Amino acid sequence: MRKFLVLALLVALALPIFADDGTVLPAGVFRARVIPTFGWMTGQYDKNGNYTAFSSSTFPTGAVTVPNLGFALEYGINDWITAAAQWAPGLTFASNVPVPAGYPSTLNVNGSFDLFAGAVFQIVGPKAPVVSDVIRFDLAPGVNIPINPVDLTTQTSSPATVMNLDVPAWGFGGRAYLDYVFSPSFFLDLYTQFIDYPSTVDGKYYNALIAGTQIGYGYKLRVELDPHYNIDIADGVNLAFNCAFRYDGTPDLVIAGTTVSDTHTSLFSANPSVSVFLTKTFMPLEFVLDYGQPLAGVNTYSAYSLDLQIEAYFKL
C-alpha cells in the first residue's frame, strides 16, 4: 500500500490557507480579496523528520511548482459579526511535477482547494457583547465545501493530474482567534483552525489504484502564533509587519477501515508578511505580501509560498 501513498503526500499543506487576526469588519462594509500565490516544493520530510532534497530522492526530481489564484468576500453584518466565503488557496491552473525518466513527462496537480464559508463572531472586543479594548476573542464556525475534485481513474494519458489539492469531502469545524492588544501599534494573535471530515471518500479521488475503496481523512489542524506591528507612515497610509509561526497537522489515513501508519503529516513554518493600507483612497485598499518558509516536518514536503493579497473595502 505504501507505493501508492507517495503521491498522496505530494501537495499536503502545499499552500497556506490565509488566517486573519481577531478584528472584524465594521457594519455594512464589504471586503473583497484577490490572492495570487506561487508555491514550490524542493524536498521532503520522512516519518522521522529527516529532510531529503528532490534531486537525491527516488521520486520526484526537481522542484514542484504550484501557481494558485484565490478569492474571498466578507461582509460586516454588524460591528461584531462578519460573514465570509473564502476560496484561498483557490484554483491551481498550471502546476508542474517533474519526474524521472520512464514516467509521463507532463504530470500536474491542477485543480481546486476547498471553499470555506462561515461567520466570525467577536465575543470579546471593542464593540462586542463583552467589551474590552485589550482582549479580542472570536469564534468562527464554518463548513469546508469540496470544489470539483478530479476523478483520478480518468487520468490515463499526458497531461495527467496526479493528486487532488485538497480533501474531496465536506468538512465541518471552525476557527478561533485570541488577540492581546499591547498598544495601538502592537498586538499578539493566537489562531487555530480545526476541520473535521466525518465521512469517507471513494479512493478514486485519492489514487486510481484504490478506486472503490473508502478513505477517511480525519481532520486538519492549524495553530498559529502571530505578532503584529503597524505604524502610520503618512496621512492615510499604514504600514504593518507580522510573522506567523505555524503548525499544520493531519492524522493517519484510514483506508478500507484500517488505519495506515506513517501517513500522518505535520509541518512547522514561519510566514512573515508586510502590508500597506491606503485608507483615504476612493476605495480603501490594502496590499499584503506574504512568504511561507518551511522549518521542519514529518511525512510531508518542504512547501514554500509567496502570495500577494489585494484587498478592497467598500459599501453598497
- Which tens digits make up the pLDDT trace of 15-42? 555 567 889 999 999 999 999 999 888 8
**Superfamily holding 2-314:** monomeric porin ompg (2.40.160.40)
Task: Give the pLDDT score at 13.
Answer: 43
In the chain, which ranges are continuous DSSP H helix? none
pLDDT band at residue 89 using 50, 70 and 90 as cut-offs = confident
305/270 Cα distance (integer angstroms): 11
Per residue in 212-254, pLDDT tens?
999 999 999 999 999 999 999 999 999 999 999 999 999 999 9
Instruction: Please report how many Cα atoms fall inside a 13 Å half-sphere around the Cα of residue 134, on the Cβ side.
Output: 1
Radius of gyration of the chain (CA): 20
C-alpha cell at 313: 473595502
Contact 150, 109 (CB under 8 A): no
Tally of CB atoms within 10 A around 169: 21
What per-residue confidence (pLDDT) applies to 5? 37
The CA distance from 69 to 147, in Å, is 14
Strand partners, 298: 266
